[in-house]
């Protein structure tokens, strides 16, 4: 049953990739690309990197969200819980306001700023007793609010560049290219591989730190490593796509409703589902209007009803 489910998700990924390559605002499809040079350029140089970046971002956010929910033992934890997205927003906004807003500069600044934010939250949350989950959570929330204020201030003083900052914060893939795909490929592969390899340890932590210690797991060291992995995955995703909310929440929850809590199956399922979900949402964002709606808006519109559904069915009732 589980093997069939994984195969189904892989098939869904291939379908999502096909849809991402076949549909766009230009009206060109894959068959046009076989006989027309211009159409081939659109598919290979525009749609293909965009679809692959969207898949990579979906994988990273879904993996990070699943890890955070297990690590914090909190169904509301998401990839941005450590303030990483707020840090990336500040980095991107600073570059835009400074007037050096090239794709390379924005991506680099957002990536480095998000990693610095994760490190700062880690240092703030660390105590002599170790790394208490609640303290880390509160440090992340505080840092996120502070950096959101900094971003708002930068938007206020951005003047003519304000719309560029706002659109970046909303999240989307309109600037996706082969360079951005190359930038995020290695961090995401490393993060996903490490997460999958340690998925059984996430099960141990999910059952409580006492249980994890009883099976020989060094909980403090493991928490540090998984926080680094989650920060790396989220930073890579946010650096190339902006802030796309709810993906790291709704994808792990959807998979959990279907296959249960076992992270050995849940984590790879969430990764595969995220890889299919994101390019499909991107196609919707491209085609729903004559222009292009930021992907973050679409995921918010999908995510909010999903959580209302969870609440109505009493999934997290006390």
Which pLDDT tens digit goes with each residue over 92-105? 888 888 878 777 88
**What whole-number distance in Å separates Cα of residue 191 and Cα of residue 219?**
19
Chain mean pLDDT for the chain? 85
**Mean per-residue pLDDT, 152-166:** 78
Q: Which of 130-165 are b and which e, b meaning 16 or more Cβ less than 10 Å from the residue's Cβ?
A: ebebeebbebbeebbeebbeebeebbeebeebbebb
2-312 to CATH, choices 3.40.800.10, 2.60.40.420, 1.10.3470.10, 3.40.50.2300: 1.10.3470.10
Range name among 72-86, 139-153, 154-168, 246-260 with the lowest pLDDT average:
154-168
**Mean per-residue pLDDT, 8-15:** 93
How does pLDDT run across 250-305, given as a tens digit for each residue?
899 889 888 888 899 999 999 999 999 999 999 998 888 777 888 988 998 887 88
Range name among 23-27, 61-65, 220-224, 304-308 with the lowest pLDDT average:
23-27
Identify the band that residue 318 occupies on the pLDDT scale cut at 50, 70 and 90: very low
User: In angstroms, what CA-CA distances link 158 with 91, 108, 146, 154, 284?
Assistant: 14, 20, 18, 6, 30
**Mean per-residue pLDDT, 14-37:** 80
248/39: higher pLDDT: 248
């Amino acid at each position: 049953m589980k093997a069939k489910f994984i195969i189904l998700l892989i098939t869904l990924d291939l379908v999502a990739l096909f849809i991402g390559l076949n549909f766009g605002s230009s009206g060109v499809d894959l068959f046009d690309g076989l006989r027309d040079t211009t159409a081939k350029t659109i598919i290979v140089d525009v749609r293909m990197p965009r679809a692959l970046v969207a898949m990579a971002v979906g994988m990273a956010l879904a993996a990070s969200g699943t890890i955070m929910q297990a690590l914090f033992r909190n169904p509301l934890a998401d990839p941005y819980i450590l303030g990483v997205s707020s840090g990336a927003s500040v980095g991107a906004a600073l570059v835009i306001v400074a007037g050096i807003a090239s794709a390379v500069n924005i991506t680099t600044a957002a990536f480095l700023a998000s990693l610095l934010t994760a490190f700062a939250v880690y240092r703030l949350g660390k105590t002599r007793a170790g790394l208490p989950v609640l303290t880390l959570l509160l440090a992340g929330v505080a840092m996120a609010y502070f950096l959101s204020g900094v971003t708002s201030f930068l938007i206020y003083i951005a003047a003519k560049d304000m719309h560029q900052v706002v659109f970046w914060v909303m999240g989307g893939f309109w600037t996706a290219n082969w360079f951005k795909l190359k930038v995020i490929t290695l961090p995401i592969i490393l993060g996903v591989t490490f997460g999958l390899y340690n998925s059984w340890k996430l099960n141990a932590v999910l059952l409580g730190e006492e249980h994890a210690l009883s099976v020989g797991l060094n909980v403090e060291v493991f928490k540090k490593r998984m926080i680094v992995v989650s920060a790396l995955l989220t930073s890579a995703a946010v650096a190339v796509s902006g802030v796309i909310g709810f993906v790291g929440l709704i994808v792990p929850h959807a998979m959990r409703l279907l296959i249960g809590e076992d992270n050995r199956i849940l984590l790879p399922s969430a990764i595969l589902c995220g890889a299919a979900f994101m390019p499909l949402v991107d196609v919707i964002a491209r085609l729903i209007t004559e222009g292009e709606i930021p992907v973050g808006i679409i995921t918010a519109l999908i995510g909010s009803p999903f959580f209302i559904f969870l609440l109505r069915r009493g999934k997290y009732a006390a």
